[in-house]
Structures are given as C-alpha cells and as structure tokens.
Amino acid sequence: MTFDLFDNLDDPGPPPEPLADGAMVLRGIARANAETLLADVHAVTAAAPWRHMITPGGLQMSVAMTNCGHAGWVSDKRGYRYDPIDPLSGQPWPAMPVSFRELAITAAGQAGFPGFAPDACLINRYEPGTRLSLHQDRDERDFNAPIVSVSLGLPAIFLFGGMRRADRPQRVRLAHGDVVVWGGPSRLAFHGVAPLADGDHPLLGRLRINLTFRKAL
C-alpha cells in the first residue's frame, strides 16, 4: 500500500539531509498528516496508557512511554526487552495504526531502505526539561532494518553520535513533522535527546511526541 503523504503537496519538501552513512533527516514529511497521527496516538494511549518505565538500575525514566504493534519495548529491573504483552494490562499491545505503518514505510523508502516492515512502535512523550540519554537501539533481533523516528509537537535537539558512547554527537534541531531514519553502517549509532526547551505548540501545547519504528521480532 502506498502512503498518500505527498498527494496534496506540490512540493514534497527539501531533499534528505545526510547525518552519516545510512542516516538522514527528512524535513517536514509527517507534517501534512500530523492530526491523523496524533488522533491515532490518543487511540493507542487510551488502550495502553502512558507510563514512566524503570531502568534495570531502579531509576524512573523522565520520558513517558507506551507502545503499539506486535511487540512493545519495556524496561524494568529484569532488563530491556521486547514483549508482546503490556505488563500493565496483561493484554497484547494495541495494533499499530495504518497511518503509523504507512508513514514508517514511506520514510524508510525515501531514505533508501525499501521493504521496511515495522512490527513495533515506541511512543515517547516529552515535557519541558525531559531528556533521553545517549544509547543504542540494540534490543532488536535483526539489525538489517533501519530505525525510523518521527517528531511531533515542540522542537527538540536530537543528539546523533557514533559507534562509541564517547563520540561527540551532532546536535540536530528537529521540528514538528521531521523524520530521522538511520540504518546500515549507522544502525547502532548512539543517539539521544537533549533536555526539551519549553514552548507552546499549536497542536500539542507544551509537549513533544516521538514515534520510533523498529523491526523488533
């Protein structure tokens, strides 16, 4: 199925902005469909509410999270992992909305990764002052598929580093509707989000929502 993200746009936007080999920013490509995406976020969180997960070390994450798809990323004192069952409800995670899946597939194709088949979407909610420390996405079984990350709401500073935590990361400003895709040689790059600056977004107020798509299973 082809996503109609660009059907009502005369100009699809600027060309991809390279970050590293296999990594790039697609500026504004989710903006036209943002209201549908956010309505689907609300539907997911009605079934699987936001929660602040606990790290294996016992610390509470500042970013609120939930999931949809065949599996959800979870963290607790047992470690980081994907689980088909929401530990809060004991039920499967909500199905991935069609709008999510089609955007992820389209963005991956635009970035040079055709055939992406996401089966998990981690949804993060940032409030002013919250951050995400540098980390690698390495809990997935297969690193051949890329990561697709969608920004909605308040702008954020995305930190994109190298293969070592000590590598100095690039600081990339992401606005509402921007999508970052990384895979291939950059699949295991360290990345994070700097503390979110305060602001007021027309659709989300003092919030940023991030959708991160993976092929987890």
How would CATH label the architecture of 17-214? Sandwich (2.60)
Closest CA to 217 of 66, 85, 96, 84: 84
pLDDT digits (tens, 9 = 90+) for 164-201: 999 999 999 999 999 999 999 999 999 999 999 999 99
Q: How far is 152 from 158, CA to CA, in rounded Å?
A: 13
Q: List the structure tokens of 192.
A: 């994070």
- Could you report the per-residue pLDDT of 102-126, keeping only the tens digit for each? 999 999 999 999 999 999 999 999 9
Residues ≥6 apart with Cβ < 8 Å to 190 = 134, 135, 136, 161, 162, 163, 164, 165, 167, 169
CA distance readout (Å), 197 to 51, 86, 129? 21, 31, 6
In the chain, % of residues over pLDDT 90:
93
Q: What is the reported pLDDT for 65? A: 98
User: Domain spans of the chain?
Assistant: 17-214
3-state secondary structure of 70: coil
pLDDT tens per residue, range 37-85: 999 999 999 999 999 999 999 999 999 999 999 999 999 999 999 999 9
54: tokens are 């606990």
Residues in the chain: 217
- Please give the model's pTM, rounded to 2 decimal places: 0.94
Per-residue confidence band for 12, with pLDDT thresholds at 50, 70 and 90: low
What does DSSP assign to residue 180? E
Q: What is the pLDDT of residue 14?
A: 82
**Residue with structure tokens 């940023």?**
208
The percentage of residues in the chain with a pLDDT greater than 70, rounded to a whole number, is 94
